[in-house]
A and B are shown apart, each in its own frame.
Chain A
């Protein structure tokens, strides 16, 4: 499917600044008309519904842009049925804003290649709705430990050491809400984890038009297959919460027993917004992610060896000459 503007017939897309569908051609707002393929022989994964050109979506691609006509296509079978997301967090950062964030963060990295932040390169930035499972979990934890407190004082020639022994016991019932786990294999887990946190207050029920103007994937693995990541995280967090609750100024704490159970678990399939910028330098790809809602940036600037050497040599020469002159003057 794709969305056509009722006014001008152009491809209408979601506008993060206005928070609604806006036609980039005529400025029409919420003037979308859904177009779907018809006929038994039509396959939305093989031909562009707008121009008929052949397309080759990836195995999980659910939304993309036709290379030929530039229309944003949404593949029906990957956003319906078992692949229908229950929630979507709409983009709040526009492409212009995302480019600005990247530019400001890296413009001081003097060793980056010259065209790293050029307008032409930044134009390649794409908005992606990344598939996530958001897990709700009830976690029970129990913890026991022996602890000591030591106090020392001196009276006359005698030093006294008093050791008090305590038994610590904790039983925790914690409710974790919407622990996110990205369900896309192509998105690196560590980068996606660094995208957090998202503000879930903006989550809304999934609506097909919101995908227009962006790329997207359906989940690559099922929620059961990915649950271990959420559970591991909940266990670790619960363990930390318990330890943080021990506030007595103990000298030593020796854990004797610890058990953390996931009592119940449920999840929702959701799409979360990420801007992606891929920069190729010396046969290596550098990928940058910007949280499409909060603007948080994750990535590492490429380094040009020529620039490093040039700048280091300049600094070296400056210090060398100044040092020489100073030492001759004094």
Chain B
């Protein structure tokens, strides 16, 4: 994986008087640039992976867990920088080890899950920022860590993301019945012979990898939105479990495409634009039942 770049900052300002056609032509030309194509691909891949795993994450009430993973990644990056190792090489193993350690603690503690996760994610963030303060050259890059820089996505990142998407889709697809059964009722799943512990660990590892690989593009603060919001919108629109999973992934991808287009059109930061589109889709999904009720 390439070095994380925190310096790319494309600012394209156009006069407000320009026609829509000119604006669209400009956006089309912009998406002919390789870095924009990579950014779009990166957004779509992150949206698909986030939506796919997010569907189960939300139902298993692990939303806060993905947030904690994102925040802890900052701590991992800081350790890597202090040790002189590229953050790209540190972040994935750190996320996986951290996720497994947190799962281990959560299964054995008598404290409330949300309280414990709060302790973990806020202290990870604090430690990460303190460690970063020892490296002057990265002080300015903190906002890139927090909010990501999707325009800095490299081809190597895309290859990793494609491989991870294949792994996620393969895992969910091939173990779909076990995953649904586990989500519904763990004892019934165990009675059917599902190795709940192994499936849970595999899911947590994949979720940690998705969060870890998406940090560069989306940032520490916004990554959990990719996992949670499309899944919640899909839930509001679905009656069947399988439809819900697919719709969650599709909404993740659609919001990435629309968010990137809006970002280019109005010269807005990409990650927040995508999350705002996710919010728009969620609000629409929430309004549909009300609109149906009024119409009938």
Chain A partners chain B: no
- Chain A contact residues, CB within 8 Å of chain B: none
- Chain B contact residues, CB within 8 Å of chain A: none
